[in-house]
């Protein structure tokens, strides 16, 4: 069962902003995409928070 739990790899993660399910930030391609793996997705309240998190992780952001 432990194999079903994804390992947090921020460079291969998806980020949903608030309730917007029309797009997700993909750390892997450094762009918004229309689909994301729900097991590898974290919700952030707004784009400012997304930018702050990605900056702290050393990743590209919108």
- Residues 32-58 pLDDT 10s: 999 999 999 999 999 999 999 999 999
Residues 1 and 12: their CA atoms lie apart, in Å, by 22
Number of independent structural domains in the chain: 1
Task: Provide the domain limits for residue 46.
Answer: 13-57
- In 3D space, the residue among 52, 47, 53 whose CA is nearest the CA of residue 23 turns out to be 47
Rounded to the nearest integer, the mean pLDDT of the chain is: 93
Cα within 13 Å of Cα(41), Cβ side: 18
Residue 5 lies in a domain: no
Residues 22 and 5: their CA atoms lie apart, in Å, by 25
Band of residue 3 on the pLDDT scale cut at 50, 70, 90 = low
Residue 51 lies in a domain: yes
Whether the pLDDT of residue 8 is over 80: the answer is yes
Residues 53 and 47: their CA atoms lie apart, in Å, by 10
Residue 7 lies in a domain: no
């Amino acid at each position: 069962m432990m194999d079903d739990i994804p390992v947090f790899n921020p460079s291969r993660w998806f980020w949903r902003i608030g309730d917007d399910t029309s797009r997700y930030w993909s750390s892997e391609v450094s762009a918004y995409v229309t689909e994301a793996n729900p097991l590898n997705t974290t919700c952030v309240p707004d784009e400012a928070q997304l930018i702050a998190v990605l900056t702290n992780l050393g990743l590209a952001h919108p």
